[in-house]
Structure formats: C-alpha cells, structure tokens
C-alpha cells in the first residue's frame, strides 16, 4: 500500500522498483525474524534490518582514504571537503 502524498512510501516504492531483489531479501529476513521471535516487540535483528532498509547505505570504493573517513564517521571531510 502506498499512502497518498507520503514521501516515505514514495521513496520506498522507488527503491522497490530499482532494487527488487534486495528489498525482497530484506523482507524475507524480516518475516523469518518475526516468525522466530517470542516477544511482540521487534528483535535486535528486526531493528537492524529496519535501520538498513530505511536508512542504510552501501558504499563501494577503491579509494582507501575515503573509506577510512567513512569508517571514522568523518562526514564533513568525506562529503563536503
């Protein structure tokens, strides 16, 4: 379901159209996590999957310097400078 005038749903739909196999894999892991848990609250795995699904970034680079800035959370140097 996509809610009208909802940015979250719009971007989620765009990601589904761009990366359908990745989104399906994340959803399958979510489903398996929900089936396995004993508590009504989301598990640590479910939290991690949600964070990656909604906020995650995959970075590929051969530039060791840029990757080190990423590892050290040096955002301004990485993205601005």
What tens digit of pLDDT does each residue of 4-26 get? 889 999 998 999 999 999 999 99
Residue-level pLDDT at 67: 93
**Using CA of residue 42, residue 19, residue 54, residue 73, what is the dihedral sign?**
positive
CB 46 within 8 Å of CB 39: no
Domain-wise residue ranges, the chain: 7-80
pLDDT tens sequence across 16-64: 999 999 999 999 999 998 888 888 888 889 899 999 998 888 888 999 9
Residue 25: closest CA among 12, 16, 37, 34? 16
Angle value at C-alpha 12, between 31 and 72, nearest 5 degrees: 85
């Amino acid at each position: 379901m996509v809610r009208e005038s909802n940015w979250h749903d719009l971007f989620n739909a765009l990601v589904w159209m761009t990366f359908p196999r990745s989104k399906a894999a994340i959803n399958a892991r979510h489903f398996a996590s929900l089936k396995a848990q004993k508590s009504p609250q989301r598990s640590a795995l479910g939290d991690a999957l949600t964070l990656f699904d909604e906020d995650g970034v995959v970075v590929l680079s051969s530039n060791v310097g840029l990757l080190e800035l990423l590892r050290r959370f040096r955002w301004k140097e990485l993205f601005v400078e």
